Chains A and B, each alone.
Chain A
């Protein structure tokens, strides 16, 4: 990287490397993160306590470390993948109208779902991430993981928005995985490509089921009960840290405000 020329020529000269990185970043860390994210979310189907356990485990690294992880492994790679993705989209002229082959339709869909995913993730971040709480977003509170997520996802338009976004992301990842196999030369023969199609389709459908069932799981949360469980856990934590009296399951604590 000893380029001294203008930026355009830098991008052109390192096009191969940048596109390989774009391809890679789609799988790790972005794709891998998405799978973990959906797995954690779907633990809501087991119970609100298990979901809260998982969220607490993530947050146990501490707020500073968590932000570093978020930026290095999630935000920056997604941003790179998105920005360079737009450059790639701009370089092609989809011709699905003239050539209605399945793979060509997937080529166009890959671009369309990429754009949907881009806007969905931006909105999702605003909607859930605490950075945006001062701006009216940031609805997710990690100590009230189940209840805050269930409340945030309770309205129908939000549910539809998330369903569309999650499905777009799942298609984009599964189809991206398939094309990655060509880009990196993992499946080269038509036979291998056929098998890869099956594997990627199963993966994509599985992922979509995971995402959608997690959403339905949030829809089924008993918000009152979840809040009570979360309040007790917070109290218990404070007690362990020696800041407050021992929590009980009695009615005594119920009328006390559980705090946000």
Chain B
């Protein structure tokens, strides 16, 4: 129902079960050797097998280490981990669409665009190498909004409070976020930040400067949604004010332009626009309350 309304995208598992009649297909990969270097396109031919996904195609490409013109090249790099769309590590632009490589099935991609696949690294994060990007800013935003339940300590606090069915149903979808960054990739208000280390700068200074830059830029839909999730948690609530402070500070929720691309591309179908609206309400009340309380 969400899909119909927000983007009209088909969830991948709802598609057909057909196999194409091909021997091989071509994969165009946008490669880059190191951060800040120029990128270049490379074409690879992959022998078709049934039920491949983009990761298994990349494994073949890396093993071949040779372009369509027979040029020997360094094996292509990518990130992946769970291979079942729960870690978010393998997110990249597949035929221009931000999604997970592990659940991008070759059979389905051949239906969209027969014989060819285009792979690019995400465009909103600094490239480390080839399809591997540095998503530190995404995780930094989760730290900024304290996306956790504060239960550190040795004390046995007994059982947690009961939660209503309704509240559970509202929270569960938000907890499915896998920090993949699709919502950030598609967001017109989330612009790329790439810092470079000065020669005289120590690693510590550089990472501190990077964090400071990230903190003043837009937090993104995922962090807003996680703040809402933990602000509704009965124990997470204890630091609700701190989360709302983070959301109303520089780079906070006010920078959202309501394009709603985030909700349209989120592979976990998280109702991000609902989270943004809920956070919009509570941040306004929070600021008003703080203003009168001072």
- CB of B213 within 8 A of chain A? no
CB-CB under 8 A from A20, the residues of chain B are 254, 284, 287
Alpha-carbon gap, A238 to B1, bound state (A): 67
Apart from A99-B264, A189-B274: 4 A-B pairs, beta carbons within 8 A: A88-B257, A91-B191, A183-B258, A190-B2
- Cross-chain contact B264 with A101 (CB below 8 angstroms): yes
Q: Which of B1, B186, B188 contacts A92 (CB 8 A)?
A: B188
CB-CB under 8 A from B188, the residues of chain A are 92-95, 104, 107-108
- Cross-chain contact A185 with B284 (CB below 8 angstroms): yes
Closest 7 CB pairs of A and B: A185-B281, A107-B259, A103-B260, A19-B254, A179-B258, A188-B277, A185-B280
- Cross-chain contact A104 with B252 (CB below 8 angstroms): no
Alpha-carbon gap, A110 to B7, bound state (A): 19
- With known contacts A15-B252, A181-B277, A182-B276, A103–B284 Cβ distance under 8 A: no
- Nearest chain B CB to A62 CB, angstrom units: 36
- Cross-chain contact A101 with B6 (CB below 8 angstroms): yes
Interface flags for A168-205 (1: CB within 8 Å of B; 0: not) read 00000000000101111111111001100000000000
- Cross-chain contact A190 with B274 (CB below 8 angstroms): yes
Interface flags for B234-271 (1: CB within 8 Å of A; 0: not) read 00000000000000111011111111110011000001
Q: Which residue of A lies closest to B249 (CB)?
A: A16
B-to-A contact residues, CB < 8 Å: 1-2, 5-7, 96, 186, 188-189, 191, 216, 248-250, 252-261, 264-265, 271, 273-274, 276-284, 287
Q: Which of A15, A107, A185, A189 contacts B257 (CB 8 A)?
A: A107
Some 15 contacts from A to B, beta carbons below 8 A apart, are: A17-B287, A92-B191, A92-B257, A93-B188, A99-B264, A101-B260, A103-B264, A104-B261, A104-B264, A179-B257, A181-B277, A182-B277, A185-B279, A190-B2, A193-B277
- Cross-chain contact A188 with B265 (CB below 8 angstroms): no
- CB of A13 within 8 A of chain B? yes
Alpha-carbon gap, A194 to B1, bound state (A): 12
- Nearest chain A CB to B184 CB, angstrom units: 12
Alpha-carbon gap, A108 to B250, bound state (A): 23
Q: Which of B5, B96, B248, B279 contacts A190 (CB 8 A)?
A: B5
CB-CB under 8 A from B256, the residues of chain A are 183
- Cross-chain contact B257 with A103 (CB below 8 angstroms): no
Q: Give chain B's interface secondary structure class.
A: helix
- CB of A156 within 8 A of chain B? no
- Nearest chain A CB to B62 CB, angstrom units: 27
Alpha-carbon gap, A110 to B256, bound state (A): 14
Q: Which of A12, A88, A103, A187 contacts B259 (CB 8 A)?
A: A103
Alpha-carbon gap, A103 to B188, bound state (A): 12
CB-CB under 8 A from B260, the residues of chain A are 101, 103-104, 107
- CB of A245 within 8 A of chain B? no
- Nearest chain A CB to B228 CB, angstrom units: 10
Q: Which of B96, B191, B254 contacts A93 (CB 8 A)?
A: B191
Alpha-carbon gap, A15 to B7, bound state (A): 30
CB-CB under 8 A from A99, the residues of chain B are 186, 261, 264-265
CB-CB under 8 A from B254, the residues of chain A are 15-16, 19-20
- Cross-chain contact B96 with A193 (CB below 8 angstroms): no
- Cross-chain contact A13 with B250 (CB below 8 angstroms): yes
- Cross-chain contact A98 with B96 (CB below 8 angstroms): yes
- Nearest chain B CB to A76 CB, angstrom units: 21
- Nearest chain B CB to A14 CB, angstrom units: 10
- Cross-chain contact A12 with B250 (CB below 8 angstroms): yes
Alpha-carbon gap, A189 to B277, bound state (A): 8
- Cross-chain contact A92 with B282 (CB below 8 angstroms): no
CB-CB under 8 A from B189, the residues of chain A are 91-92
CB-CB under 8 A from B1, the residues of chain A are 190
- Cross-chain contact A184 with B191 (CB below 8 angstroms): no
